[in-house]
């Protein structure tokens, strides 16, 4: 667990930082009870996430993919932001220059009140038309199978970046911009070794930013982290304020 001295040091760095970027992963959502949907956690019927979250799976059997997403939406609908989400909203309020990058699709950062953010893998509460491309919010639980666009009547898909798909250009550009401008990167609930997280920590280090990590386990890449705080996000993040 993070020591009092480590917490004090991190708090001092954060207070003096002019420009803060935050990167969050599955760990912060896990503290709200959201399953990772990967590995053993994510097995649904006999399918793995990697089998269903692909354009090919959707083209082959959109009903099956939507059934899985409905199951996920029903689970996430019962979850609420935790103290770590709320602390990041307060940090955004305090800092003139702040940006949050999340790999999570559950929408909990938005629900907590975060506004300066990039949801780089999309948002499970948004749908995108496969015909006209319109993106809209949809909180129906469960969604009718198969959901159709109200405008052009084409099939809707989850507004999620699936395996084999690229991140959106505007997100890539915005993330690169904030990482190159920041003087402190806070990495929360992600190992930082899977891309894009690994690349983000590297970019921040290149420009001389301080990297502080909060995770249950210490990073396998200590060269990318200046200060590692071990513990649950919901317990540690609020202490930094």
Domain CATH number, residue 11: 3.40.50.1220
pLDDT band at residue 212, thresholds of 50, 70 and 90?
A: very high
Q: Are residues 110 and 227 in the same domain?
A: yes
Beta bridge pairs of residue 86:
none
Active site residue 109: no
Q: Are residues 128 and 156 in the same domain?
A: yes
- Which has the closest alpha carbon to 123: 176, 67, 72? 72
DSSP string, 94-105: H-SEEEEEE---
Q: Are residues 14 and 96 in the same domain?
A: yes
Q: Are residues 56 and 112 in the same domain?
A: no
Average pLDDT in the 134-153 region?
Answer: 95
pLDDT surpassing 70 at residue 37: no
Q: Are residues 103 and 72 in the same domain?
A: no
pLDDT, residue 169, reads 95
pLDDT surpassing 60 at residue 39: no
pLDDT, residue 149, reads 96
- Which has the closest alpha carbon to 182: 98, 87, 96? 98
- Which has the closest alpha carbon to 23: 178, 137, 217? 178
CA 234 to chain centre: 15
β-pairing verdict for 135-137 and 227-230: unpaired
Domain end call among 132, 160, 188: 160
Which residue has better confidence, 38 or 68? 68
Domain end call among 108, 132, 160: 160
Q: Are residues 205 and 218 in the same domain?
A: yes
Q: Which of 121, 153, 159, 173 does the annotation list as catalytic?
A: 121
pLDDT band at residue 223, thresholds of 50, 70 and 90?
A: confident
Q: Are residues 206 and 89 in the same domain?
A: yes
Domain CATH number, residue 44: 3.30.1600.10
| Number of domains, the chain | 2
Cα(168)–Cα(188) distance, integer angstroms? 22
Q: Are residues 227 and 133 in the same domain?
A: no
Q: Are residues 95 and 117 in the same domain?
A: yes
Q: Are residues 94 and 195 in the same domain?
A: yes
Q: Are residues 153 and 178 in the same domain?
A: no
pLDDT tens by residue, 86-102? 999 999 999 999 999 99
Sheet holding 19-24, edge to edge: 117-119, 97-102, 19-24, 184-188, 210-215, 227-230
pLDDT band at residue 24, thresholds of 50, 70 and 90?
A: very high
Instruction: Determine how many CB atoms are found less than 10 A away from the CB of residue 217.
Output: 10
The residue segments making up the domain with residue 146 are 35-78+124-160
Is the pTM here over 0.75, yes or no? yes
């Amino acid at each position: 667990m993070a020591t009092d001295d480590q917490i004090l040091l991190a708090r001092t760095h954060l207070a003096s930082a002019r420009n803060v970027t935050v990167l969050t992963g599955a760990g912060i959502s896990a503290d709200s009870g959201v399953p990772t949907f990967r590995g053993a956690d994510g097995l649904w019927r006999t399918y793995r996430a990697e089998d269903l979250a692909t354009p090919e799976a959707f083209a082959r059997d959109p009903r099956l993919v939507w059934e899985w997403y409905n199951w996920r939406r029903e689970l996430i609908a019962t979850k609420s932001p935790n103290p770590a989400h709320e602390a990041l909203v307060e940090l955004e309020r305090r800092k003139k220059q702040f940006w949050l990058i999340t790999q999570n699709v559950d929408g909990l950062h938005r629900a907590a009140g975060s506004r300066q953010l990039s949801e780089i893998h999309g948002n499970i509460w948004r749908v995108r038309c496969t015909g006209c491309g319109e993106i809209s919010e949809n909180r129906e639980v469960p969604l009718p199978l198969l959901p159709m666009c109200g405008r052009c009547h084409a099939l809707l898909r989850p507004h999620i970046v699936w395996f084999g798909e690229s991140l959106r250009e505007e997100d890539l550009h915005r993330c690169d911009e904030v990482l190159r401008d920041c003087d402190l990167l806070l990495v929360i609930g992600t190992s930082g070794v899977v891309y894009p997280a690994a690349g983000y920590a590297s970019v921040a280090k290149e420009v001389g930013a301080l990297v502080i990590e909060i995770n249950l386990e210490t990073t396998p890449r200590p060269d990318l982290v200046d200060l590692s705080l071990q513990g649950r996000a919901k317990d540690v993040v609020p202490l930094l304020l």
